[in-house]
Amino acid sequence: MKQNKPVILWLLSGCALVFIMVVVGGITRLTNSGLSMTDWHLVTDTFPPMSEEKWQDAFEEYKKFPEYQKINIHNDFTLSDYKFIYFWEWFHRLIGRVIGIVFIIPFIYFLIRKKLDKATVGKCLILLAMGALQGFFGWFMVKSGLVDNPDVSHFRLSLHLTFAFVTFAYTLWVALDLIYPERKPAIAPLKKLARITLLILLLQIIYGGFVAGLNAGLIHNHWPLMSDGQFMHDSIFIEKPSLLLALTEGQSGVQFVHRTMAYVVVAFIVFLFFKGKKYNLDTQQKQGLNALVIIVSLQFILGVFTLLLRVPLWLGLAHQVVAFFLLTAMTFTLHRLSK
């Protein structure tokens, strides 16, 4: 670990920046700020408008698009309001640029100084490609809200969000490979169960993106049952022409899957925890399993209150942040059970 300490710190710094970017992305979404910047320029968007005239020009450009024409034009939306939503989208994009710089420049330095072995170079090239792809997904998402519909596609939003989580997890995995270079036999049954649990958690994150994109947390604000004392609300079967579409595109259907999947995630993590009791685990493995149970319990409680209180900004953001912590614990645990 000592030999690779600068590389490890670099990778963990990347994890921290991705985490910050997702948090700011959550604020951007929850404040409806994501469509405030109507164009994408790599250089000129680096700084916000620097004069009142430039601000007015940006505001006039924003007025040409559906979000203003169909929603904000009716809300006494002022230049001051526009500056607020502009800030969060600009800040979100700025962090993306910072991540690119923080990754590329040290990567070149470590490459020249031969601080990276062949395997780590390959993993870092994958991370570089993932970063570029994530930038494309961001543009792809915003583009969907600038045509006719004054909101982004929930499929594209979920893709952008989930890929950020995956990028974070892979960056952490590469760092863990350097932190724990020793290899020992994996505990096959726990490794397999942990992999399945990770996949279910990622599916839940995907549906979290669907819920955010469709504002599905603003309806059926009851627990443990949906509205009218129903486990599966009648509206699920009438809002779309097929059940598949209802469960992927309908507000009620998407919320139903997300709230039901929460029980599945909790069940798998608890099962993994108790199954781990049957093996002679080391300290790190035990810590990983303990962290999973604690964090998933907190996340479940936050999810319930986020729903009951109709997604207040601070609670919706906390729910997203703890999802990140849960993925962190899941990645760490799987790594320690695998290697």
- Report pLDDT digits (tens) over 166-179: 999 999 999 999 99
What is the predicted pLDDT for the residue at 305?
A: 97
Q: How much is the average pLDDT of 12-18?
A: 96
Q: Is 296 exposed, middle or buried (0-12, 13-18, 19+ CB in 10 A)?
A: buried
CB-based contacts of 305, cutoff 8 Å, min separation 6: 315
Residues 18 and 48 in one domain: yes
Residue that the structure tokens 């590469």 belong to: 174
Residues 191 and 84 in one domain: no
* Residue 75 pLDDT class (50, 70, 90 cuts): confident
Question: pLDDT digits over 203-221, tens only?
Answer: 999 999 999 999 999 999 9
Residues 165 and 234 in one domain: no
Residues 106 and 244 in one domain: no
CB-based contacts of 24, cutoff 8 Å, min separation 6: 88, 91, 92, 95
250 with 236: CB under 8 angstroms?
Answer: yes
Q: How much is the average pLDDT of 38-51?
A: 76
Residues 295 and 209 in one domain: yes
Last-in-domain residue among 131, 166, 181: 181
Question: pLDDT digits over 233-286, tens only?
Answer: 999 999 999 999 999 999 999 999 999 999 999 999 999 999 999 999 999 999
The domain tally of the chain equals 2
